[in-house]
A and B are shown apart, each in its own frame.
Chain A
Amino acid sequence: GAVVSQHPSWVICKSGTSVKIECRSLDFQATTMFWYRQFPKQSLMLMATSNEGSKATYEQGVEKDKFLINHASLTLSTLTVTSAHPEDSSFYICSARGQGNEAFFGQGTRLTVV
């Protein structure tokens, strides 16, 4: 199946710094990408939907100025957590949807803010 690669797999950063997470579709063009966050033993919570070349659509309660999403090409979307705080520590997952029936997920990024 299609491959979606997320980088980094894990990151530890200091409180107040920014962290960028990349999501790449390796063998298909992703017109739409989704960003999720997941807390321990909870389901995936959709944060935002990004379409190539346009602004992301954020879900209610998600701060767009804190979670910056850029979808500059059909194979790359980035999520930047700005001024990270310990409560931002979570598992972040991206998903890419091409022209087919299914969405493909990255392996996730474990963010720990200390």
Chain B
Amino acid sequence: AQRVTQPEKLLSVFKGAPVELKCNYSYSGSPELFWYVQYSRQRLQLLLRHISRESIKGFTADLNKGETSFHLKKPFAQEEDSAMYYCALTRGSTLGRLYFGRGTQLTVWP
């Protein structure tokens, strides 16, 4: 069975500090991994996906199949990064279903 684990429910950093939100997954096949973000009073939205290998708002995430991880990183956190972040996984056989982690609430202090 597939599972997405975000070990930190809460994470706080100061503005300008590096931030890393952890995500580990368990799945024997080849998953596709995503990060979704929910800013205060806004809709949950896609932040980035591993297949795109892109940097969005300064965030990057690398899929490490050996460690089954997909950690989200940003070298210099900003106050506007404060939000709830969800890691999600999909597998080809489930035809559209996303498996979400329980989320990490990131707070960036001024």
- Are A and B bound to each other? no
Chain A residues with CB under 8 Å of chain B are none
| Chain B residues near A (Cβ < 8 Å) | none
